[in-house]
């Protein structure tokens, strides 16, 4: 049994767009209710208040111009932060800074071993680039965490695993030539889905050749295809021996998501979490940080993320008698 910290609090639903947008607050609220109902009393779970990141932490990854742009848009509260996917709203700067602050605090907590594992449901903003918002993502907490782990904790081999239905382009390409950052990403084939990237020949450049693993699945792919793909990630992880695993567990690959065409069940999340959890104990002292990501069918989001939490708690190392 492991302990799991979860960032949930008053500020959690703030990172959400107006009511007709797929990323609206109801998706988090339904998850929150289900979580309280099913797991709320578990002793191994610690619920923590999200925390806001200071600007210098945002600047570990993002450009000053972009951070200032979001700040201004946050005051006006209208228009878009990109070309039409990611609306500005009043307070978007603060809401996005809470996402980053919680992910970074989560990382610090697991590195100090205060709690075994952390899940930040509002994290995993994998499309945001250094200088721009994209695909509902304002600040890329996963990328900032990677730099924080390298720069402030001295880690040299970081594995980022992404099972969101969309390719995690904002992590993959921003570290494309960085040999310390390994990305493994299962997503719907870019010919059918935003952002249109993540093909198997994209494996990193220069010294980082071979550090990026992209697996795309055809529309209609379900649990069997997912598991087969995930087994490749397992092999990849064993080969690279990471010091930290960051797990983006977007839930938009489940059947009946309004934006994608994959048909997994929550079994995909159960399978992936159990495997990664085990790998983290075998290879990197249990250092695994889970981030929410996408998911636009609220019932699916709740089902998938409960499996993630359960999968992080449940661990029984094999006892061998010598």
Catalytic residues: 127
Q: Tell me the H-state helices in the chain.
A: 25-39, 55-58, 64-76, 92-112, 141-151, 169-172, 223-240, 267-283, 298-313
- Report the residue number, 250 or 298, with the smaller CB distance to Zn ion: 250
Among 2, 67, 145, 213, binds Zn ion (CB under 5 A): 2
Contact between 195 and Zn ion by CB under 5 A: the answer reads no
If binding is defined by CB under 5 A, does position 268 make contact with Zn ion? no
Judge residue 248's burial from the number of C-beta atoms within 10 Å of its C-beta, 0-12 exposed, 13-18 middle, 19 or more buried.
buried
User: How many whole angstroms separate alpha carbon 176 and alpha carbon 155?
Assistant: 18
CA torsion through residues 248, 150, 203, 234, sign = negative
Of the pair 81, 110, the CB lying nearest Zn ion is at 110
Q: Interacting stretch for Zn ion, rule CB under 5 A, among 90-98, 195-203, 227-235, 307-315?
A: 307-315
| Main-chain phi, psi angles of 55, to 5 degrees | -60, -35
**Region from 14-22, 24-32, 79-87, 243-251 binding Zn ion, contact rule CB under 5 A:** 243-251
CB of 79 to Zn ion, least distance (A): 23
Q: Which stretch binds Zn ion (CB under 5 A): 46-54, 154-162, 265-273, 280-288?
A: 280-288
* Half-sphere CA count of 245, side-chain side, radius 13 A: 36
- Shortest reach from residue 211's CB to Zn ion, in Å: 22
The residue within the footprint of Zn ion, chosen from 50, 198, 292, 294 (CB under 5 A), is 294
> Measured from the CB of residue 64, what is the shortest distance to Zn ion in angstroms?
28
Residues in contact with Zn ion by the rule CB under 5 A:
2, 116, 164-166, 250, 252, 286, 294, 315
């Amino acid at each position: 049994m492991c302990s799991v910290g979860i960032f949930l609090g008053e500020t959690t639903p703030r990172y959400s767009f107006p009511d007709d947008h797929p990323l609206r607050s109801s998706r988090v609220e339904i998850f929150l209710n289900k979580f309280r109902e099913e797991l709320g009393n578990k002793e191994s779970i610690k619920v923590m208040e999200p925390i806001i990141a200071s600007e210098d932490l945002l600047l570990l990854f993002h450009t000053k111009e972009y951070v200032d742009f979001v700040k201004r848009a946050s005051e006006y509260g209208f228009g878009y932060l990109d070309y039409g996917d990611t609306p500005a709203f009043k307070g978007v700067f603060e809401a996005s800074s809470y996402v980053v602050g919680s992910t970074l605090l989560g990382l610090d907590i697991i590195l100090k071993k205060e709690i075994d594992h952390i899940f930040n449901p509002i994290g995993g903003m994998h499309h945001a680039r250094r200088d721009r918002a994209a695909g509902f993502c304002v600040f890329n907490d996963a990328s900032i965490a990677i730099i924080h782990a390298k720069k402030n904790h001295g880690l040299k081999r970081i594995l980022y695993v992404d099972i969101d239905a969309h390719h995690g382009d904002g992590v993959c390409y921003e570290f494309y030539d960085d040999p310390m950052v390994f990305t493994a990403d299962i997503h719907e084939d870019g010919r059918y889905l935003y952002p249109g990237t993540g093909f198997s020949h994209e494996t990193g450049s220069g010294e980082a050749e071979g550090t990026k693993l992209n697996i795309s699945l055809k529309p209609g792919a379900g649990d069997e295809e997912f598991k087969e793909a995930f087994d490749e990630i397992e092999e990849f992880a064993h080969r690279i021996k990471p010091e930290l695993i960051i797990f983006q567990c977007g839930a938009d690959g489940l059947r009946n998501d309004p934006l994608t065409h994959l048909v997994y069940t929550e079994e995909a999340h159960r399978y992936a979490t159990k495997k990664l959890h085990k790998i983290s104990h075998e290879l990197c002292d249990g250092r695994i940080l889970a981030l929410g990501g996408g998911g636009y069918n609220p019932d699916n989001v709740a089902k998938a993320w409960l499996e993630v939490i359960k999968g992080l708690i449940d661990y029984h190392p094999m006892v061998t008698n010598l």
